[in-house]
Amino acid sequence: MDHSTHTHQKTADAHAGHAQGKADPHGGHDHEGMIADYRRRFWVVLGATAPILALAPMIQGWLGLDDMLRFPGDRYVLAGLSSLVFFYGGWPFLKGFWRELTARDIGMMTLISVAITAAYAYSMGMVAIGSDETFFWELATLIAVMLLGHWIEMKSVLGAGRALEKLASLMPDEAHLVADDGSVSDVSVATLKGGEHLLIKPGEKVPADGIITKGESSLNESMLTGESKPIFKSVDADVIGGSINGEGSLTIRVDKTGDETFLSSVIKLVKEAQASKSKTQDLANTAAKWLTFIALGGGISTVLFWTLFTGQGFGFAMARAVTVMVIACPHALGLAVPLVVARSTAIAATNGLLIRDRTAFEEARKIDAVIFDKTGTLTMGEFGITDTLVFDDTFSETDIITYAASIEAHSEHPIAQGIVRDATNSWPVDKFKAIPGKGAEGIVKARDIKVVSPGYLRAQNIAMDDPRYETLSGDGKTVVFVLIDDALVGAIALADKIRPESRQAIHELQAMGIRCIMLTGDNTQVADWVGQQIGLDEVIAEVLPEEKAAKVRDVQSRGLVVAMTGDGVNDAPALAQANVGIAIGAGTDVAIETADIILVRSSPSDVVAIIGLARATYNKMMQNLVWATGYNAFAIPAAAGVFFPWGMILTPALGAVFMSASTVICAVNAQLLKLNRKGVVQ
């Protein structure tokens, strides 16, 4: 991952080669250096272009200044200035042409170089024979526009990687090291090895992954998980390096440093995803290659046509050919997909949606069905109170829960802890003791309180014929009974708590035309109850761990593209079998390593977000591809002079404007891709 080096690689060099695996036509990965170089060359060329325009015979004729600006040797001054523009301003394109030629990968730089070289060579030949029929002003303006376009483009490309840079900048450079004697000193984060104790003051960034050993506070993890609300944490809770401490002072024990940290893992995944091959990019590469050949062939054909079959002359024909080759440069086509890839991957990472497999992410747009594991995915994986029954009107629901919580506070049983968590209050207990296999009892406010199972009632011959109990039991809920002074006064039903966002997530997926299925090893009663509560389309229950992958295949056999979402070891084979495997980030390492996409927040609503992002990303790719190729259907014929009989003609400089504008449009369109927690706004 290498957060320690802070390479930031500028969108994982989304622009590199304009396609994964191709040579970078701009010659390197330092986009900031390239921006500075294009900027410098542009200003020099622009400064030379002004006198070139003033000395150009055609421009003088248009302005009626022939006699005022002409002087002996002016064409040689014009040639000299144009040579400066050609060699200095055109050098990035000439260098790129040589690189493409040696790599046998003809592309954009070849087209530009052939165009400007043809214009320069023709013009110098005209000067040599004493003719004013030159292309010097067209050459200068063409190179100026091309440099400006590339300058703007590079800035757009660099902007696509800002999110990744923000991630890398989250980790502070220094940490407050707490010594064994309690003294505190500042040390470099790079020196941390693990096991150290660090002081985190209010408002400071956490310098490494660790565990809280002292204090409590709210931590802002929004840049890492996308969760906008600060999360309250106390002793023994995990903290993520890069998160921001809130109001409290914390002491943490360093658990992970350097490449092992969560932040480093995120950056690594982002870089790998941005650099991975895209199926859509293959289409773009093929189209760009054909467009290059069309441009070269079109340029030659244009020269031959206007020279042999019209009376416009070779100079006119050459201008048309140069314009064709410039305007048809597949620059925008090469950027159409990589910029969207860089943007979408960075957006996903900063919202807690980590893409491990780019191909699977693109496949996510086709998903017809999402299969959810139940425990830990749709539910919290912990018991909570769902219903409270009152059998004695002397007591309220709150009384019954509080009495029960007071007793259960002394038990470590998951059921007991579920009652304690949901209670708003508790009272002191005397003479607490467990009733083996059946519950617990104690004295609360001078009353004998028992919290017991249905088995205790049966053993004591206490009648329970309330139909509400049968309903709760039929739903698969766990029911405990509360006795006060040996009188049955109430009952509390508990179940694995459904995540608050599960119902909304299922609804949104169904609105997207996606079938929602739950796959669980739990009994049918419990599974059906959860399914009814959140509105699932289908429930598959009582499935053994080794059967989950087979059940996924069964759903796929219906002709559906399937995503599997889970968090446990037993979900790993099913995650691997699915078309797209989505792991809950709070789950096991096995599940995470098997998945294609990881949801850091452990929220089913993020399944909606990742599918929405996948669809929007594809749409952006298609929009860019359509634009990058479609505009050529008009531009190439116009450049070739098809519309000349109607008085419409494109100069090489204007062709460069159109080509550069097309590139910038694709870059800006990629930046318009956004994500919100309810889906994607395009």
Q: At which residue do the structure tokens 């030659």 appear?
A: 300
Helix (H, G, I), strand (E, B) or coil at 452: strand
> Is 480 in contact with 580 (CB distance < 8 Å)?
no
Which candidate, 449, 419, 454, 452, places its Cα nearest to that of 435? 452
> Is 34 in contact with 157 (CB distance < 8 Å)?
no
Catalytic residue among 13, 209, 373, 528: 373
Terminal Cα-to-Cα distance of the chain (whole angstroms):
31
Please give the DSSP secondary-structure letter assigned to residue 178. Answer: E
- With 0-12 / 13-18 / 19 or more C-beta atoms within 10 angstroms meaning exposed / middle / buried, residue 446 is exposed
Q: How many C-beta neighbours within 10 Å does residue 639 have?
A: 32
In order of 134, 227, 263, 606, the CA distances from 224 in angstroms are 59, 8, 7, 14
Please give the DSSP secondary-structure letter assigned to residue 195. Answer: S
CA distance 499 to 515: 19
Structure tokens at 37: 């170089």
In order of 119, 605, 615, the CA distances from 55 in angstroms are 17, 66, 54
422 is catalytic: no
- One DSSP character per residue, 492-549 reads EEEEEEEPTTHHHHHHHHHHTT-EEEEE-SS-HHHHHHHHHHHT-SEEE-S--GGGHH
Report the relative pairing of strands 487-498 and 197-200 from DSSP bridges. Answer: unpaired
Sheet strand arrangement including 353-355: 353-355, 597-599, 580-584, 562-566, 369-373, 515-519, 538-540
| Residues that are catalytic | 373
